[in-house]
Structure 1
């Protein structure tokens, strides 16, 4: 009886293994199957009404999204800002975090009426979790240490939707970005005025 039970158990295990193999997709010769790209998301609404620092600060390093979730890249923009400069909320929202992360001051705001969240670092916060802030309201000052931009200082400004990083500059409307005047090129064959 034991021998018959053992044979049934072996056959059952064999059949379960065959069934599992039939349900498993075949291995690819060139490596693992590619991960499908994320579904396209709607454009970020240009709801910003103020720069985080200054009037039109130089962008020291732009947004460079990583190729993979854990890949190298720059998940925000670095804006030139000296230590002690006021850091302002880009748009109205609620403070979801104000404290220290890895030795740096960080302020995070959930923007009103959206699924977006902005982050600012290194910032010594003047707000606390739960505070409601308006566009342009000061949320802290640039810390003198902790910046990866050196002594001149900068603020790293990030934008997230859930766990997905987005370009924070997309929050600002064109009139606020004011990327400079248009340049007209000379028209060939037309004489220039004296």
Structure 2
């Protein structure tokens, strides 16, 4: 991770509304969870993909990925891990190295996208298998 989640103190305050993940340009960008592509296009010169996550309430959670050269289109259904596109070559828009900016929102409120990942992927306790009893 190049830069972590830094929630702003106020709606328009300074902060970092997502996480930046180092990756070489051309790397596949995959859906963090199943859902429907709400947007796939360009914003401020960068490719952006936004996915409304299935079964996450009303309004649904929405993940954002940028800068991405999309291979999907608005309205497409995607499964967890399905490719959304590739990291654009000009990915150094705010990181010292090429990176993917990954965000999470519910309506207009930004959230930490790492909360979508299981704890064992974040250095927490790995899952344990318990013996089955009859």
TM-score range relative to shorter protein: 0.7 to 0.9
Q: Which protein is richer in strand relative to its size?
A: 2
With normalisation by structure 1, the TM-score equals 0.60
Match for residue 149 of structure 1?
A: 95
Match for residue 66 of structure 2?
A: 121
How far apart, in 1, do the equivalents of 2:88 and 2:95 lie?
12
How far apart, in 2, do the equivalents of 1:99 and 1:65 lie?
26
RMSD of aligned residue pairs (Cα, Å): 1.5
- Structure 1 portions without partners, runs of 5+: 1-58, 182-194
Q: Who wins on radius of gyration, i.e. which is larger?
A: 1
Runs in 1 of length 4+ with deviation above 3 angstroms? Answer: 178-181
**Residues 103 and 146, structure 1, Cα contact 8 Å, conserved in 2:** no
Q: Which protein is richer in helix relative to its size?
A: 1
With normalisation by structure 2, the TM-score equals 0.86
SS in 1 for 2:2: strand
Residue 18 of structure 2 is aligned to residue 72 of structure 1: no
SS in 2 for 1:141: strand
**Residues 29 and 84, structure 2, Cα contact 8 Å, conserved in 1:** yes
Query: Cα distance, 1:175 vs. partner?
Result: 2.3
- Structure 2 portions without partners, runs of 5+: 127-134
Bigger relative CO (Cα 8 Å, ≥ 6 apart): 2
The CA deviation string for residues 8-29 of structure 1, in whole angstroms up to 9 with x for no partner, is xxxxxxxxxxxxxxxxxxxxxx
